[in-house]
Amino acid sequence: MNETSDVVAGQFHVAHASAETWQQAARSVAEVLGDRDDDTLGFVYVTDHFADALGEVAGFLAAATGVTNWCGTVGIGICATGKEYFDRPAVAAMTGRFPDDALSLFTNAEEAVRSYDDRRGGAMGQGSFAVVHGDPRMPNLVEAISGLARETDGYLVGGLSSSRGATMQMAGRPVEREISGVLFDSAVRVTTGLTQGCVPLGGIHQVTKVDENVVHCLNDRPAMDVFVEELAIEGISDPRQLSGSLHVGLPVSGSDTGDYLVRNLVGIEPNTGAVVIGERVGMGDALMFCRRDRAAAEADLRRMVNDVRKRAGTVAGGLYFSCLARGPNMFDGAQSEMDIVREALGDVPLVGFFGNGEISFDRLYAYTGVLTLFESADG
């Protein structure tokens, strides 16, 4: 089955297609995009059915459209304006027109920093913005993300590739086991937002006894006692009622928007009163319990998208990076997450993918959605 659609709105152009082979899908996308010689950058995302062919897809699109700079990656799911492709062979692409010399592709963090340093003193010397794709197999990935943001005075958005097979990224050429993407200078105006998809249960607690990821005490009390009390306030007497939807939140120090990192609640130890979480924490760290379900995710997504839309100027295009545990695995229906985004934004050209983790500012998140809107170059 071949399925193609497009959204065209001046500065950005989007097309997406599902087909049995990458050649059929890429050809359909290219036919819709047409001649885009004036566009300076393309984003391309493929489902993992075409993971081995990402470089060939980008090369085909470059030859067919005239856009020579392409970046993107592989996802178990990919998305475009009002559309999600999960467990289907598909390609989504968006081309855009940006000011001359306003962007630099990079295939690793060192290359991004060199590019930034070369332009320091100009617009890029005032700080940068980067779209980043990471390989979950990369050693020291979390440190590399925070280091890239720090060394480029930058704000990062993006996600980690997801695949049931090969994992690949594109940043001018195919790349693996790195963080890659595109660095923009301040001439490119963007507005971003993060949706957690969770509802906090109770308040924030202090870790007062811990052994790596085994939290023994919160507020000098057995951690399990604090956990059970907060569930009781919510009317939950048995944690098994919410199996799979209970998590912990680790508040981000210094955040003025209440951001927190969501991590798995691995289990509880009734004999010791400890709670085991999917992250190492230290003495004095802050921790709270969260519930993650469809209603919470939908409400927070609507809040975030509407907030970003209000803060942005004239929107020309966008990118959306979501967790592979979201999409049809969280929302009601195969297109519901992108339908919510579309309700607030309208038919804004947009592409993205569902990954193994999401990047916002200088941190790696989980279970979140990260929206970026490019403001019109014409104001």
Check residue 121 and give its pLDDT: 53
Q: Flag whether pLDDT at 254 surpasses 70.
A: no
Tokens of 284: 């004095």
Alpha-carbon separation of residue 364 from 257, 265, 308 (angstroms):
16, 18, 20
Residue with tokens 């999600």: 84
Distance CA 337, CA 103 (A): 30
With CA atoms as reference, report the closest residue to 133 among 175, 92, 97, 164: 175
Distance CA 98, CA 105 (A): 13
Check residue 1 and give its pLDDT: 39
Q: Which stretch of DSSP H or E encloses residue 116?
A: helix 109-118
Q: Flag whether pLDDT at 4 surpasses 50.
A: no
Percent over 90 (pLDDT), the chain: 70
Distance CA 253, CA 97 (A): 37
Distance CA 58, CA 42 (A): 9
Check residue 236 and give its pLDDT: 72
Give me the chain's average pLDDT, please.
90
For the chain, residues classed under CATH 2.40.30 are 199-291
With CA atoms as reference, report the closest residue to 75 among 86, 65, 64: 86
Distance CA 260, CA 249 (A): 6
Q: Flag whether pLDDT at 12 surpasses 80.
A: yes
Model confidence pLDDT, tens digit, residues 266-291? 888 888 999 999 999 999 999 999 88
Check residue 101 and give its pLDDT: 84
- Overall CATH class of domain 199-291: mainly beta
Report which residue type is found at 370.
V
Check residue 66 and give its pLDDT: 97
pLDDT class of 244 with cuts at 50, 70, 90: low
Start-to-end CA distance of the chain, whole Å, equals 40
Check residue 379 and give its pLDDT: 52
Tokens of 223: 């951690």
Mean pLDDT of 122-135: 79
Percent over 70 (pLDDT), the chain: 92
CB contact at 8 A, 93 and 16? yes
Model confidence pLDDT, tens digit, residues 159-209? 999 999 989 999 999 999 999 999 998 889 999 999 988 888 888 999 999
pLDDT class of 256 with cuts at 50, 70, 90: low
Model confidence pLDDT, tens digit, residues 84-98? 999 999 999 999 999
